[in-house]
Amino acid sequence: MKKLIYMIYMNLFILMLSGCQPSVNHDFIIPPIEDYQIKDFNYIAYEPLFPNENQSLSEDELNDTVKANVFIHNLSYNNPWLLIDASLYTGSGVIFHETDTYYYVLTNAHVVQQNESYRFQAIEVYDYEDNKYDGFIYEGSIDLELDLSVIVFAKEEELTVLTLANGQVLIDEKVYAIGNPLKKRNVIPDGKVVGYNRTIVEDKDGNIHYMSFYAITHNALINDGSSGGMLINKDLYIVGINFASGKDEEKVESFSIPSNLVVSYLNNLISNQNSID
């Protein structure tokens, strides 16, 4: 009788643990790159806005733009069946490209890097309505110097695809930083571009990294979980990818990778992939 009670207790304990731990789709297989390789993508030349054109976006425009926002779960683990010993890191991303089969998401490299202390990794993507998809890192897309990566997931729902602006947004232009800070969904702070600066950032493990490029500095408030999220202008073009925020609580400073560097990064990625074929 005691043995039976013990077995029932252990089964309940395992169920309780599994109920509060992330799950992994063990049937998911990353397709070969030939199935999802990007041949080209759309972008548009950046056109600066005059100050009198800096009016706010309408509610309908913002609601449609949010459909390009995704929430990324990066799960690193050792035991595929019991995820007690696991590391979960979350971030944001923006859909910038699509094919008949897949959506493609820009995000930060630090959002999707695998934790080196664990053997396995799973990328889960949640759309603006919290529909869940099995995602994967586009082969060869992790760029640690620019802190960029591309995530791919299968098309199931109709989502919005935003276009990159090839250029540098002007100082004083109004911008919107859409993402998922502090695990809140579809947050839309706005602000203005205040300058361009090189940055030194501290990662989640306390390591210091010097970013050699000039980042967009803006005052739209972002926070943990905003990493990889979009920075857009009034014309609904992607003008940057957010990657860091300042530590001064009295002064809002947020930092984005300029979209012209993102366009160059994607062109190089496609060119390098095509040269291998």
Q: Write out the catalytic residue numbers.
A: 110, 147, 227
Cα–Cα distances (Å) from 227 to 2, 108, 178, 180, in that order, read 51, 6, 10, 8
Cα–Cα distances (Å) from 114 to 76, 89, 103, 117, in that order, read 6, 9, 21, 9
Q: State the alpha helices, DSSP H only, in the chain.
A: 2-20, 33-36, 59-66, 109-112, 259-276
Task: Give the 3-state secondary structure of residue 128.
Answer: coil
C-alpha triplet 139, 224, 134: angle, nearest 5°: 35
Cα(38)–Cα(16) distance, rounded to whole angstroms? 42
For residue 110, which phi and psi values (nearest 5 degrees)? -70, -20
Give the chain's count of helices (H) and strands (E).
Answer: 5, 14
Residues sharing a CB contact under 8 Å with residue 101, sequence separation 6 or more, in sequence order: 35, 36, 154, 155
- What DSSP assignment string belongs to 86-102? EEEEEEEEEEEEE-SSE
